[in-house]
Amino acid sequence: MLHKTITYLIALIWFTNGLICKLLGLVPRHQAIVAQILGVEHAYLFTKLIGVSEVLMSFWVITRWQRKMNVIVQCVIIATMNILEFLLVPNLLLWGKWNSLFALLLIGFIVWNERYYKQLES
């Protein structure tokens, strides 16, 4: 039960960031970050594409298909995104450079959840 709850929580994080923050544009800071990194002229399109990708990630998390690959992809995406933001746009982040700490905690949470699930399988 704990694993399932955490899995849905992780999926909810991806879904919320994708749909609410990027696709619906309810958190304009996300598009501002994309604009500053990739350029204003492409910010709208790339923000929407990232949003779609995050929503798709939420479904991938829930299906648990290719779990190990999914965990690796999530960790690489979160780490890459946060390193870029830390270096290029820390002023636009909700918690500034502290966002990196929360990203690291999320990565740890994702990895721990997968290891916990493997222990349940054994």
Q: What is the pLDDT of residue 121?
A: 61
Mean pLDDT of all residues in 32-45: 96
Say how many domains are in the chain: 1
**59-89 per-position pLDDT tens digit:** 999 999 999 999 999 999 999 999 999 999 9
107: Cβ–Cβ under 8 A, 6 or more apart, which residues?
Answer: 74, 75, 78, 79
In this predicted structure, the answer to whether residue 1 has a pLDDT above a threshold of 90 is no
CA angle 81, 78, 56 (to 5 degrees): 105
Q: Which domain holds residue 95?
A: 2-121
